[in-house]
Amino acid sequence: MDRFNIMETDFEGVYIIEPTVHADHRGYFVKTYDEEEFSAKGLDLKFVQDDQSCSSKGVLRGLHFQKQHPQGKLVRVIRGKVFDVGVDLRKNSKTYGKWIGVILSEENKKQLFLPKGFAHGLLALEDNTIFVYKVDEFYYPGDEGGLRFDDKDIGIEWPLDKIDELIMTEKDKNWESFEKLNFSYDL
């Protein structure tokens, strides 16, 4: 019996994953990863690190990537809600320079898998949002790259209508535009 609804997207290698939720009067149980079931769907993954962040409403993180050590990421929210975004930086991809965005929340329990070759970012839509990442490559601080969140050529439609103020690091405010980035993956 499948415990996951693993849905392909228009982006090669990007999947939206809906786990089966078993709920009763005690609460719920949900399996968020199963190596055998993911592998049977073509997702042969080996994760090396789990990360977690907590963000206030209006926090925008990203768009981040690693240049020499790209990371595949399986991401989900365990409290709150985010708008999660990936931008395809794989130069030989039919979706190169395009973005995908998905609402992930503690209610919908959806997960997003972004393979190596994507810039990643998120916007917290609620206070105290806890976001969890499983990654298939370690984080190397000196290898970090980024892309402007508001790049006009990419045109991400961030849901800002209920956000009073964007909260960002100076670094995230000042990443290069896609046109000036001068970087892509040959994956």
- Catalytic residues, by residue number, are 64, 133
DSSP 73-101: EEEEEEESEEEEEEEE-BTTSTTTT-EEE
Integer Cα distance of 84 and 106 in angstroms: 13
Spatial separation of the C-alpha atoms in residues 33 and 3, rounded to whole Å = 9
Q: Which has the closest alpha carbon to 151: 181, 123, 122? A: 181
DSSP code at position 142: G
Sheet (strand 4-8) strand order: 4-8, 15-19, 111-114, 73-79, 129-135, 49-55
Of the candidates 111, 110, 89, 108, the one whose C-alpha atom is nearest the C-alpha of residue 98 is 89
Per-residue tokens: 39: 């592998």
